[in-house]
Amino acid sequence: MKILLENIKELVQVIDKPVLLRVGKEMSSVKTIKNAFLIIRDEVIEEYGKMEELKDKYTDDDYLVEIDCTNRLVYPCFCDPHTHLVFSHSRENEFVQRIAGLTYEEIARQGGGILNSAKKLHEISEEELYDLSIDRIIEIIKMGTGAVEIKSGYGLNTEDELKMLRVIRRIKETAPICVRSTFLGAHAVPEKYKSNPSEYVDIIINEMIPQVAAEELADFIDVFCDKGFFTPEDTERILMAGMKYGLRPKIHANELGNTGGVEVGVKYNALSVDHLEYLNDEEIQVLKGTETMPTILPGAAFFLNLPLSPVRKMIDAGLPVALASDFNPGSSPSGNMSFISALGSIKYQMTPAEVINATTLNSAYAMGVSDCLGSITKGKIANLFITSEVEGIASLPYFFGSNLVETVIINGVIQSF
């Protein structure tokens, strides 16, 4: 199968010599080719260049499909490296409680929040959970996402954590996009272990992790290392146990305070530390020069009215930054990466180019797939989207709330919805 995209107004995020991530100032560079073509053979990007070169170099006319992209931009699909999109019910009641003045932490302390989602997830079958989740996958593909990381963490007992992870595995097998799975048994302490949380940590270590590993259900391990959830000491124990089975950490840190999560993440060479609403200068220095991607979740800060991560300071200090949706029913009920891009520019002062690097290449890195996704590079997997008629790369963050993604191609296949 061969597809030719022609007359592309601007081919965005072209990286000729592959790199795995961009840090600091490098994030302000995004190469685009104006009036471009791109050829897909089977599932990979085979060639691209200026339209003038197409006629000279490629006389072969056996394209099965030709798509005219006049006035349209072509992007590599978004990679979304942090979601909890396998869940059973939404939580509008808590949304209303927050409008009335309760905080996310207060709701959690009263048994709402993550514990509420765990109760609901316990009640539905694996089949129903899969059906609900695959609909969300289709929704995010329509909005241009071509790779997604999904966490467990609404099970909070061995059986239900495994149920969630099996659903994620089935999504991996059936969804067209690239999926990575993260075990997050340490998302909240269940009610019955409240007086002795380390008993629950023992269950995670001795019971859950070995079974998750035996069934090869996870690529990564996560802990919600924060005020009122898991301590840095709990986190270390859990990460060490997971790493014995080859699960690389990707952790939730510093959403509710400067609680030591960044240091633990870096100590255990986490692939990413995520949230970082609270991040001081020392923690910025701790992250510098490491292999850990700071990943910001603007949807959660927006939805919960949290302080904003100091993204400008981070980039200016030479750190890389990735953006993710955090799609979940409690703190960010949206997987719309265009909206996340808009928040990046509007709330965090990221330029359109920085946002593109943070939602494609760097976000691919944060889920371990930037060798094959996240840029327009020969030999990479052809996960691309074509926009509607737009002005340029500032249009996506500018038209916040709109979906300017018109056509999505995944593994070289044009998706129909």
Nearest distance from residue 399's CB to ligand NIG, in Å?
A: 26
Two structure tokens written together for 372: 């094959």
Question: Please, which residue, 367 or 384, has the CB nearer to ligand NIG?
Answer: 367
Ranked by CB distance to Fe ion, the top (closest) residue is 326
Residue 113 engages ligand NIG in binding (rule: CB under 6 A): yes
Among 117, 292, 360, 375, binds ligand NIG (CB under 6 A): 117
Question: Please, which residue, 83 or 383, has the CB nearer to Fe ion?
Answer: 83
Residues 224-253 that bind ligand NIG (CB under 6 A): 224, 252
Rounded Cα distance, 150 and 80, in Å: 9
Residue 261 engages ligand NIG in binding (rule: CB under 6 A): no
Residue 345 engages ligand NIG in binding (rule: CB under 6 A): no
Q: Which span (47-55, 155-163, 173-181, 326-334) binds Fe ion, by CB under 5 A?
A: 326-334
Max alpha carbon distance in the chain (Å)? 73
CB burial string 236-254: b at 16+ within 10 A, e below? bbbbebbeeeebbbbbbbb
Please check whether residue 215 is in contact with residue 162, taking contact to mean a CB–CB distance below 8 angstroms.
yes
Residues 169-188 that bind ligand NIG (CB under 6 A): none
Residue 331 engages ligand NIG in binding (rule: CB under 6 A): yes
Among 200, 326, 339, 369, binds Fe ion (CB under 5 A): 326
Identify what 331 binds: ligand NIG, Fe ion, none; CB under 5 to 8 Å per kind: ligand NIG
The size of the interface with ligand NIG (CB under 6 A), counted in residues, is 13
Residue 112 engages ligand NIG in binding (rule: CB under 6 A): no
Nearest distance from residue 305's CB to ligand NIG, in Å?
A: 13
Residue 329 engages ligand NIG in binding (rule: CB under 6 A): yes
User: How many other CB atoms are found less than 10 A from the CB of residue 164?
Assistant: 30
Nearest distance from residue 299's CB to ligand NIG, in Å?
A: 9
Q: How far apart are the first and last CA of the chain?
A: 20
Question: Please, which residue, 234 or 326, has the CB nearer to Fe ion?
Answer: 326
Nearest distance from residue 224's CB to ligand NIG, in Å?
A: 5
Nearest distance from residue 191's CB to ligand NIG, in Å?
A: 16
Residue 80 engages ligand NIG in binding (rule: CB under 6 A): no
Nearest distance from residue 405's CB to ligand NIG, in Å?
A: 24
Residue 84 engages ligand NIG in binding (rule: CB under 6 A): yes
Two structure tokens written together for 392: 């340029």
Q: Which span (195-203, 287-295, 326-334, 402-410) binds ligand NIG, by CB under 6 A?
A: 326-334
Residues 20-49 that bind ligand NIG (CB under 6 A): none
Question: Please, which residue, 117 or 182, has the CB nearer to ligand NIG?
Answer: 117
Q: Which span (55-63, 138-146, 243-251, 323-331) binds ligand NIG, by CB under 6 A?
A: 323-331
Rounded Cα distance, 324 and 373, in Å: 15
Two structure tokens written together for 366: 């944060």
Radius of gyration in angstroms for the set of CA atoms belonging to the chain, rounded to a whole number: 21
Question: Please, which residue, 117 or 377, has the CB nearer to ligand NIG?
Answer: 117
Rounded Cα distance, 350 and 343, in Å: 9
Identify what 345 binds: Fe ion, ligand NIG, none; CB under 5 to 8 Å per kind: none
Q: Exposed, middle or buried, 333 (CB in 10 Å: 0-12/13-18/19+)?
A: middle
User: How many other CB atoms are found less than 10 A from the CB of residue 55?
Assistant: 9
Residue 326 engages ligand NIG in binding (rule: CB under 6 A): yes
With CA atoms as reference, report the closest residue to 270 among 294, 237, 254, 306. Answer: 294
Question: Please, which residue, 152 or 375, has the CB nearer to Fe ion?
Answer: 152
Q: Which span (5-13, 18-26, 95-103, 318-326) binds Fe ion, by CB under 5 A?
A: 318-326
Rounded to 5 degrees, φ, ψ at 259 are: -110, 15
Question: Please, which residue, 252 or 380, has the CB nearer to ligand NIG?
Answer: 252
β 178-186/145-151 pair status: parallel
Residue ranges that bind Fe ion, judged by CB under 5 A: 326
User: Which residues are at the interface with ligand NIG (CB under 6 A)?
Assistant: 84, 113-114, 117, 224, 252, 255, 300, 326, 328-331
